[in-house]
Amino acid sequence: MKLTLNYIVPLLFFTTMIPVFGQTAEPKTIVGLNGQCEFTMVDPTAPLPCQRGVLWMILQNGRSIVVFAEGNNRTTFALSGGRDRQPDPEDYYLGIDTFRMIYSGKETVDNGMEGECHFNLNEDGTKYYYIKCLIYNRRIGTIFHFDLNNVTDFNIKNF
């Protein structure tokens, strides 16, 4: 599936309505990426499939959101944070502090998350290779791992 604005619009509505520190944030840039996606929630040796389209939104307030959808489209996961670093042109890291999961219309939010998403791309930003997100809440012992590998294409929309 080619990720187009027709596909992005429903997810854009979802993600722009996510409260970020008690406010609704408008998107600055949306990047849609396609590749091979999987995630783990409980057992790291038993990955589950997710949709091949992943959204990365950079918001006007400086925060970012990475959105994954479970393989059957019943569950949506949004990982968000406001810290980032880029030690070299090929490696971008987004610090994650909030995890949202929407399943059957019910939202679960965990603001005690730690971890990051690692975006690997070529030096001039014309090719993405993978996104690997490892997040956890050490207080309650939850851990999530989301991977988008072998990125085949991506689209960028600036607002």
pLDDT digits (tens, 9 = 90+) for 91-118: 999 999 999 998 888 889 999 999 999 9
Give the start-to-end residue ranges of the domains of the chain.
5-19+31-158
Condensed to tens digits (0 to 9), the pLDDT of residues 4-37 reads 444 444 454 454 455 543 446 788 999 999 999 9
DSSP 22-64: TEE--EEEEEEEEEEEEEESS-TTS-EEB-SEEEEEEETTS-E
The structure's pTM equals: 0.85
What percent of the chain clears pLDDT 90, i.e. is strictly above it? 62
